[in-house]
Each structure stands twice: as C-alpha cells, then as structure tokens.
Structure 1
Amino acid sequence: MAQQAVIADLPPSPSPAEALRADAERNRERILAAARRLFSRQGLGVSMTAIAREAEVGNATLFRRFATKELLIEAAFMDRVNVYSNLVTTCADDPDPWQGFTDYVQCVCTLQAADPDFVEVLTITLPAGVVETRRAEADRGVLDLIARAKETGHLRKDVDDRDLTILLMANSSVLRASGPPPSSASRRLAAQLLRAYATTDAPVIPLPEAPPRTDLYHAMIRLLRSPG
C-alpha cells in the first residue's frame, strides 16, 4: 500500500514527444550560453565548430537549431537588446527628460550589475539584421534623451554619450572588484556621476551611503589581484 501511495505521488512521465522537446530546448540553451561565452572572449569571428565543442553538442545539432552564424548571433543577443531597447523607450517616455535621463543611467548600471556581459550589446559590432537595427534605434533614443535633458538646463552642455561609455567602464571595474552580490558601490558611483553631469540648479537624486571602508579595502585587493 505504501509503495502504491508513493507511486501515486510521482509526477506523470513525460511523453516521448515532450521528452524530445525538452531535450531540444536544453541543447538550444547550451548552444546559446556557449555562443555568448565565446563571443565575449573571442569576438564574433569564432567558428561554429568551436561553439558546438564549447556547448558539447555535435555540429549537426548546432546547425539544426541555427542554420547560419547570423541566426545564432541574433538569438544570442536578442533578449539583451530587447531589454536595452525597452529601457530606452521607457525613459524617453518620461515627461521630465532630466528624470528620464537619470533613470536611464541608474537602470543601465543596475542591468550591468545583474548581467556583467550586458554591456556587450552596447559595444560589440553586430552584423546587419534585426538585432542591430533594434540596437541602433535604441542608441539613437539615448542620444535624443541626452539632447532633451540638456534642453531642460539640468544636464551640462559638455556631457555626451561617450561619458556614459566611461561610466559603464568604471562601473564594470567596481562590480568586478566588489564581487557578488553587487555592493552599494555601484549605486554610489552612478549617483556621484549623475551629480557631476548635472548643472548647479538641477534636482539631484539622493546619494546612497558609501560602502564600509573594510569592504572597499577588500574590493581593492581583489581588483589588484585579478588577472588582466
């Protein structure tokens, strides 16, 4: 009786078709994860054979899922590009352009903290296609966001998109040194730089408390000892 009760509590076995679909989805995710790792390390020139090897699948499995490298690149980056594009759109829709700009800066730093490789979608050279078109539209949206924030008189005239690239470079080092989970140092950095970007009469966001000195000391040691 006890054995029957245990068996009755077991979830139903998947059908052969469901098992095949689940296996195919696992292979797809392994391929995408491997592609992102290799694209990050070696650039988009990495071979499909190397990606299959990294994913521990055969070439036939890889090409069944992604017939061309262009399709694989789009699949590997589409989710991040969509998140980035939606962020830009949301911030651009704010009726207060300065608020939209500050929200963008803080959110893009938060995304970088949640996914350290996120910044790749802003810097890597993607082939022409749906992903690159969407990213280019988002990039133009950021330029417009900067221009509109300047028109309010709250963003300094000498700030441009290159300063945001520098911010992300700095934030990357802070995140790498802090280690998981992301510390308050990243939020403090974003807030301080927003204050530096602001004119004297601009409303500024509250300044998060600085991390404890001991945390910063250990972060510096980790950064100095890290390879590269």
Structure 2
Amino acid sequence: METPAGQPPLRRDAELNRQRLLAAAHEVFRDRGLSATLEDVARHAGVGIGTAYRRFANRDALIDALFEDMIAKVAAMAVEAAEDPDAWRGLSTSLERVCELQTFDRGLRDIMLGTGRGRRRQELVAERIKPTVDAMIQRAKDQGVLRTDVEGWDLPMIQLMVATITDHTGHPDLWRRYLHLMLDGMRIGGADGTTLPVALFPDGQPPSETLSLPQG
C-alpha cells in the first residue's frame, strides 16, 4: 500500500514493521474475526505493542489499512476479468476468485458487513469496483451469455451466500458447487453440459446437522 498523499515515506525498518503487522492482522482477523485486539496482532507479528501503535493509532486504523489492501486486490481482479475477450469467462472467473478470497476470511466478511464504518466501506467498494463490474455484466449481456435481468448488486449477494457455506458446513471447498449452480442459473443456456465441482461429502450425503433448519 502506498504512503498517503502529503505524508513522507516511512523508513525501511518502519515500513517492514508496518507490512509485518498487516500480514499478521490478516491472519489473526481471518481466523478470529474482528474481536481480536491490536495487542493480539502485535504478538502474532512478533513486534512490541509500542511499535504497533506507532504504525497504527488504533485497531480501526489497522482495519482501514487492511480494507484498502483488500479493495486494491479485488479491483485488480475485476480489471483483469474485464479485459478477457470472453465475457462469460471473465465474469464467472472474477466472481469465483473473489468468493475464494472471502470464503475463508472471517475478518474480510466482518470488515465488509460490520457496524460503524461498514456503510462507508461499502460505498468505497461501489466507487472503486462497481463501474468495472457493471461493464462486465453489460458486456456479457451484449454477447448473449448472461440473463438480461441480472444486476450488478446480484454479485455481492451471491458472494455473501456462498461465504456462509463454509461457516455452516465446515467443508472448505463445498461453496464451489453452489456457486456453479448459481452461475448456471445466470447463464443463458444454463449448465450446457458442465459438471458441478466437488461432491457433496465423502459418502455422498451431508451430515444431519447441515440440513437442520432453525425452529421458529
């Protein structure tokens, strides 16, 4: 991540500490969510808490930096997908890559959906990524491969749905199956002979608790 405009670049050792803290924060928040503290991150990074506070004023500042890194990564994925001459391949591959990024990352989901700055972060996503995604969707419609009633906001909803599958079942790759089912529903011509990835479970059946519905 670049140094914010108007601020001098960090010394090399300071920048190394900053990157170490960001890497540690990604791992800690990924596994524990945003309940983890800045002290937890400093400990995981192997730096003193004073060093952590010199690089980030508080946990929110650290989370903001992580969010910026995530946005840059997702935006790059979208731009790369938009350049694919095959509109369907670009759109579906981009969606799958973003789902893969967030499915195992509890912290990423907490950052996007959390209270407080969550709404502003969603606005930033719209500013940075939505125009590219909208262009991808329109191009896929123009090529006759995407349902004409699909909208840009359908994609983040799909991302949220598939992200819950790993949480609920504990099976790390099962989400791919349901993502492909949804993609087939979006594509003109449907599955067109494709095969769904990932069998349900080793014995072909989900555990009984997976099928349990909340009582109300």
TM-score category of the 2 structures, normalised to the smaller one: 0.5 to 0.7
Indicate the larger mover: 185-194 or 160-169. Answer: 160-169
Aligned residues: 194
Instruction: Give the structure-1-normalised TM-score.
Output: 0.63
- Seen in structure 2, the aligned counterparts of structure 1 residues 35 and 154 have a Cα distance that, compared at 3 Å, is same
- Seen in structure 2, the aligned counterparts of structure 1 residues 54 and 86 have a Cα distance that, compared at 3 Å, is same
- Seen in structure 2, the aligned counterparts of structure 1 residues 221 and 200 have a Cα distance that, compared at 3 Å, is same
Structure 2: gaps of 5 or more residues = 1-12
- 2:25 pairs with 1:32: yes
Residue deviations 1:192-214, cap 9 Å, x none? 11110012388675432532374
Equivalent residues of 2:38, 2:58 under 8 A apart = no
- 2:186 pairs with 1:191: no
| Alpha-carbon distance in 2 for matches of 1:26, 1:87 | 22
| Alpha-carbon distance in 2 for matches of 1:195, 1:65 | 46
Residue of structure 1 in register with 2:65 after alignment: 75
The one-letter code matched in structure 2 to 1:170 is: M
Identity of aligned residues (%): 25
Residue of structure 2 in register with 1:178 after alignment: 169
Residue of structure 1 in register with 2:95 after alignment: 105
- Seen in structure 2, the aligned counterparts of structure 1 residues 87 and 119 have a Cα distance that, compared at 3 Å, is farther
| Alpha-carbon distance in 2 for matches of 1:217, 1:202 | 23
The one-letter code matched in structure 2 to 1:172 is: A
- Seen in structure 2, the aligned counterparts of structure 1 residues 161 and 56 have a Cα distance that, compared at 3 Å, is same
| Alpha-carbon distance in 1 for matches of 2:119, 2:87 | 29
| Alpha-carbon distance in 2 for matches of 1:85, 1:64 | 29
| Alpha-carbon distance in 2 for matches of 1:74, 1:205 | 40
The one-letter code matched in structure 1 to 2:74 is: Y
| Alpha-carbon distance in 1 for matches of 2:18, 2:153 | 39
Q: CA RMSD in A?
A: 4.2
By percentage of residues, which structure has more helix?
Answer: 1
What pairs with 1:126-165 in structure 2 (closer than 5 Å)? Answer: 136-165=127-156
Equivalent residues of 2:78, 2:133 under 8 A apart = yes
| Alpha-carbon distance in 2 for matches of 1:86, 1:137 | 10
Shift of 1:34: 8.9
